[in-house]
Structure 1
Amino acid sequence: MAKIPVFYSFHFNNDVMRVQQVRNIGSIEGNSPTTPNEWERLKRTGDSAVKTWIDNNMKYKRCVIVLIGSDTSTRPWVEYEIKKAWEDGKALLGIYIHNLRCPRSGTSRKGANPFDNFTFNDGSRLSSVIPCYDPNPITAYADIAANIRGWINSAIANKRN
């Protein structure tokens, strides 16, 4: 079965170890992981370089998955990635990852929905049209592994035209 090309959006510092677990599921083709050193070097080169990196890595992806940890909704690059994905007509979805166990810090608190940060002209929020999945806290990894392909396919089928 062919892997679905996706772009992962997440808070690097807090959630990189949780995100790696999602990458290891293997049923999807995500953007290549960036090491902490590469990400820090990229950020030091300036906003323009970060935007170019995001734009290039998102370009041929069918879906953008926002992996939501405790502070994801406050991250400016996550906001940029959501806005870009929406403007480019990409499929979007969110998955709460706070219950995936990080080897350094364990689980974390559930973060706010980052799609609540975007409001349409009629006052409704982007979160009213973008699904966010909150896996079972006891079996979070297994729940994500069993459902992620379906969640992605549903987002692609239902994306805005």
Structure 2
Amino acid sequence: MARKCFYSFHYKPDNWRASKIRNIGTVEGNKPASDNDWETVTNGGDAEIRKWIKDQMKGRSCTIILAGSGTANRKWINYEIKEAWDSNKGVVVIYIHNITNSKGEQSNKGANPLYYVTHGPTGKRLSTIAKAYDPPRTTSKGVYSYIEDHIEDWIEEAIEIRKNND
């Protein structure tokens, strides 16, 4: 049975790449907001955005951060990571910079989004606890195939890591 996961990604530059990964089919993901729905949510301000994120995460066991060149340290990406971790969900980063966009272009690898989020009273960076995967392939097709072959294991590992780090 496919795990239910929440996908987090930087919409504007990576929505095409993220869509490819979301369509792998081995993971049941949250439905992306249409442009009109997202505009309605954002017009409600930060409180409405936080509520939308929490609602989207309900019933999910893991958050998958699809990291492109500019994903790390964005306000809402950080919030989604923290919300997932604080809700006892697994958290895993998958780099997607080598997946092509709608123009057939790859991008540069960005920083690890987990580095910018801390956990617990000591402020330990999540990058020292949770994992980030950079598929060891250079072609979009190769990266896609590698993710397809490993995503289920990465999710299970992320859930286990979270269980063992309260």
| TM-score relative to the length of structure 2 | 0.90
- Secondary structure of 1:73 counterpart: coil
Q: Distance in 1 between matches of 2:36 and 2:11?
A: 11
Cα-to-partner distance string for 1:50-84 (whole Å, 9 max, x where unaligned):
11110001021000111101111132110100111
Q: What residue in structure 2 maps to residue 79 of structure 1?
A: 78
Q: Please list, as runs of the form range in 1=range in 2, the aligned pairs for 1:55-66 lying within 5 A after superposition.
A: 55-66=54-65
Q: Please list, as runs of the form range in 1=range in 2, the aligned pairs for 1:81-100 lying within 5 A after superposition.
A: 81-100=80-99
Q: Report the CA distance between 1:87 and its aligned residue.
A: 1.1
5+ residue gaps, structure 1, are none
- Secondary structure of 1:142 counterpart: helix
Residue type at the aligned position of 1:62:
S
Q: Distance in 2 between matches of 1:123 and 1:57?
A: 26
Residue type at the aligned position of 1:16:
N
- Secondary structure of 1:155 counterpart: helix
Q: Distance in 1 between matches of 2:79 and 2:39?
A: 18
Q: Report the CA distance between 1:111 and its aligned residue.
A: 0.6
Q: Distance in 1 between matches of 2:160 and 2:126?
A: 17
Give the direction of change, closer, same or farther, for the CA distance of 1:104–1:38 in structure 2 (3 Å limit): farther
Q: What residue in structure 2 maps to residue 29 of structure 1?
A: 28
Q: Report the CA distance between 1:105 and its aligned residue.
A: 6.0
CA RMSD of aligned residues (A): 1.5
- Secondary structure of 1:109 counterpart: coil
5+ residue gaps, structure 2, are none
| TM-score relative to the length of structure 1 | 0.92
Cα-to-partner distance string for 1:109-140 (whole Å, 9 max, x where unaligned):
11100111124554642101110000122211
- Report the identity percentage: 41
Worse-superposed segment, 15-24 or 98-107 = 98-107
Q: What residue in structure 1 maps to residue 134 of structure 2?
A: 134
Q: Kindly tell me the number of residue pairs found equivalent between the two proteins.
A: 160
Residue type at the aligned position of 2:127:
S
